[in-house]
Chains A and B, each alone.
Chain A
Amino acid sequence: MAIDYLPLLIMIVLGAGFGALVLILPAILGPKETNSQKLEPYESGIIPFSDARRRFPVKYYLVAMLFLIFDIEVIFLYPWAAVLRDLRVFALVAMAPFLLVLLVGFIYEWKKGALKWGE
């Protein structure tokens, strides 16, 4: 039932409301004073050395793609795990090709060095 998710909705509303509040209140109440220190991305952090809006390495795309694929795998494992005890060996046999195919992919990306970030 959708009513079971009422706590979730309250949580979302509270979270969004609090986020809006801490953005709006300082704008109204806080003193307005600007200097170069205030415009830095991090206070007391590393001094920015270049524009953040540059092209990022293609490795980020690969990481996102691998995450997406194994994320989908986990989603499909979840209903299967719920019935594993009832179906026993049958469920294991039915799932084996799916897992093996993705295991082949995993070994492939590992051997290709897709999991290595540096050289």
Chain B
Amino acid sequence: MPELPPLPTISQLVFTGFALFTCASALGVVLARNLFHGALALVATLFGVAGLYVMLEAEFLAVSQVLVYVGAIATLITFAIMLTRSMMYGKTSPLNRQWGKTGLFAVMIFLALYGFVGSIPWADSAPAVLADESMIAALGVEFVTNYVVAFEVMGLLLLVALVGAVMLARDNN
């Protein structure tokens, strides 16, 4: 990678735009008085993260993010709100009795992560990134060779989630 130019490049501007969008909608998630608006802001946040992934050249991750998080998880959260009686009525306060402690913890976690990320010796030059098609092919090879056990275990995890969902949502009779 060449050394950074003094002026921000177009891609840096776009990245900053996505980052600001993500932060703004993340704030919307925690500050919305109507929980449903919070859920919609969460969808925007997840979409912004997908944009960040594209800017970081993690295309497969970005596609997965849109399909799984923006598509499925967002639907699930929306339905979960629709299923909950008290959440469909009226406005709720974004603050509760524990907001002070939670805020303190959030700041502490941020500082810990900040120190951790700052202490890592990041490589100055990026390794050669594979082209799109060969990257996905390499991912496929890794799934069935190095990570095959983790892959099968994940299938089991999905099965447990499926059975759990059917058990939870089954009729009482």
Contact = CB atoms under 8 A, between A and B. Distances in A.
Interface of A: 1-5, 8-9, 53-56, 58-69, 71-76, 78-84, 86-87, 90-91, 94-95, 97-99, 101-102, 104-105, 108-109, 112, 114
Interface stretch (B92-100, B104-112, B113-121, B158-166): B158-166
B67 A75 contact: yes
Contacts of B30: none
Contacts of B14: 2, 9
Contacts of A91: 140, 144
Contacts, number: 142
B156 A101 contact: yes
A76 B143 contact: yes
Contacts of B71: 71
A71 B72 contact: yes
B26 interface: no
B27 interface: no
22 contacts: A4-B132, A58-B169, A61-B83, A61-B169, A63-B79, A68-B73, A71-B68, A75-B68, A79-B140, A80-B140, A82-B136, A84-B140, A86-B137, A87-B144, A90-B144, A91-B144, A98-B154, A101-B156, A102-B158, A102-B162, A112-B170, A114-B166
Given A75-B64, A80-B140, 11 more contacts: A1-B57, A2-B14, A55-B83, A61-B79, A63-B79, A64-B76, A65-B76, A71-B71, A80-B143, A80-B144, A102-B155
A90 B148 CA distance: 12
Interface string B39-62: 000000000000000110101100
A53 to B, nearest CB: 5
A98 B155 contact: yes
Contact of B162 (A61, A83, A108): A108
A105 B158 contact: yes
Interface of B: 11, 14, 54-55, 57, 59-60, 63-64, 67-68, 71-73, 75-76, 79-80, 82-85, 88-89, 132-133, 136-137, 139-141, 143-145, 148, 151-152, 154-156, 158-159, 161-163, 165-166, 168-170
A102 B159 contact: yes
